């Protein structure tokens, strides 16, 4: 069949995000594999059920009247926000069929597991790499792909025959921009000692709907020691934002859950967390965080789905 290998990945900040959301390099238009060197699975901190967001209903694919001889891109729904470009990661649901007769060969609506595509990286068939440029969050796009931009004269699995054109309907859950260490913002935080409640300040307002419990968040985070404002750790060195599920059970320290409440994609927020809601009387040696010290983080939220 279409999927050949599943590689689970979790990117964790040492001692910060626990039970981070795990994606899979499940291979819908690929046959590719993944590097397992960064695998790190950390269980949730409680036994309580972790909420999840259901997948949208699977759409029907209307096949073209004639088998396509060139890539045909049709926006069924436009979407909002920045357009995806090469280097960005597009997070999608998809269903694929043979253009000739509409026989379905794969979809991830049934599993509910979003598929990530890094545009221009060559990890998917050419028709996807070309056809997904310009999509926006929430958009729905149909790609009718000639064999030359799909599996050519080789076919794939039991259903896709040599020379088959393929048709996909692809729903875009999020567009996550490519980032680099040089993109890390310079933020001067106000030191905090003896805070009694979690507080937050939006330096850059986001757009769209506020995040919901159970969603997956794509974010970068910079951690600071509260009493001195000293920077302790940052995820910006990672080539892609961190994935984490927004639920009390999956976030450490606990005050981070409350501090993220109401945030919107595209936003940047400073969150100040009292010691009692951070690392308490033990501190956190992994990030050189002393005991009984307030904790400050700067969060850039790129996507929520």
79 pLDDT higher than 80: yes
Q: What is the CATH number of domain 53-178?
A: 3.10.50.40
d(C-alpha 138, C-alpha 47), whole Å: 33
133 pLDDT higher than 70: yes
pLDDT digits 0-9 by tens, 22-47? 444 444 554 333 332 232 222 333 44
Confidence band (pLDDT; 50, 70, 90) for 48? low
Q: Which two tokens stand for residue 211?
A: 């995040």
Decide yes or no: CATH 3.10.50.40 for domain 181-304. yes
d(C-alpha 211, C-alpha 116), whole Å: 20
Mean model confidence pLDDT for the chain: 85
C-alpha count within 13 angstroms, C-beta hemisphere, residue 50: 20
- Beta bridge partners, 95, equal 107, 169
C-beta separation of 54 from 212 below 8 A: no
Q: What share of the chain is helix, strand, coil (3-state, %, to 5)?
A: 10, 30, 60
What's the confidence (pLDDT) of residue 53? 74
Q: Which two tokens stand for residue 220?
A: 């970068």
If DSSP codes are grouped into helix, strand and coil, which group holds residue 200?
strand
The predicted model gives 172-180 an average pLDDT of: 92
The predicted model gives 51-79 an average pLDDT of: 92
The predicted model gives 69-96 an average pLDDT of: 95
| First-to-last C-alpha distance (Å) of the chain | 27
If DSSP codes are grouped into helix, strand and coil, which group holds residue 277?
helix
The predicted model gives 199-211 an average pLDDT of: 93
18 pLDDT higher than 60: no
Residue ranges matching CATH 3.10.50.40 in the chain: 53-178, 181-304
Name the residue with tokens 């950390």: 42
What's the confidence (pLDDT) of residue 100? 96
The predicted model gives 232-237 an average pLDDT of: 94
What's the confidence (pLDDT) of residue 37? 29
Name the residue with tokens 């597009």: 90
Confidence band (pLDDT; 50, 70, 90) for 250? confident
């Amino acid at each position: 069949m279409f999927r050949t290998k599943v590689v689970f990945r979790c990117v964790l900040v040492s001692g910060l995000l626990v039970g981070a959301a795990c994606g899979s390099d499940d291979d819908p238009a690929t046959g590719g594999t993944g590097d397992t060197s960064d695998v790190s699975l950390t269980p949730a901190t409680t036994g309580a059920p972790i909420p999840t967001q259901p997948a949208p209903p699977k759409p029907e694919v209307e096949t073209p009247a004639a088998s396509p001889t060139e890539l045909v891109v049709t926006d069924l729904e436009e979407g909002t926000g920045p357009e995806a470009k090469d280097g960005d990661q597009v997070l999608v649901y998809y269903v694929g069929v043979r253009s000739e007769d509409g026989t379905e060969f794969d979809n991830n609506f049934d599993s509910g597991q979003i598929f990530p595509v890094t545009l221009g990286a060559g990890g998917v068939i050419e028709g996807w790499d070309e056809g997904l440029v310009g999509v926006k969050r929430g958009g729905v796009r149909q790609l009718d792909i000639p064999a030359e931009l799909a599996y050519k004269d080789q076919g794939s699995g039991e259903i896709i025959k040599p020379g088959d054109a393929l048709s996909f309907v692809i729903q875009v859950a999020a567009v996550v921009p490519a980032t680099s260490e040089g993109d890390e913002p310079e933020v001067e935080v106000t030191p905090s000692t003896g805070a009694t409640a979690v507080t937050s300040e939006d330096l850059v307002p986001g757009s769209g709907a506020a995040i919901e419990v159970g969603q997956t968040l794509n974010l970068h985070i910079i951690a600071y020691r509260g009493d001195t404002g000293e920077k302790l750790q940052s995820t910006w060195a990672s080539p892609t934002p961190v994935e984490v599920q927004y639920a009390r059970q999956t976030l450490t320290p606990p005050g981070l859950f409350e501090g993220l409440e109401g945030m919107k994609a595209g936003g940047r927020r400073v969150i100040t967390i009292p010691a009692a809601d951070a690392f308490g009387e033990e501190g956190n040696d992994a990030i050189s965080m002393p005991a009984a010290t307030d904790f400050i983080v700067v969060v850039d939220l790129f996507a929520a789905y």
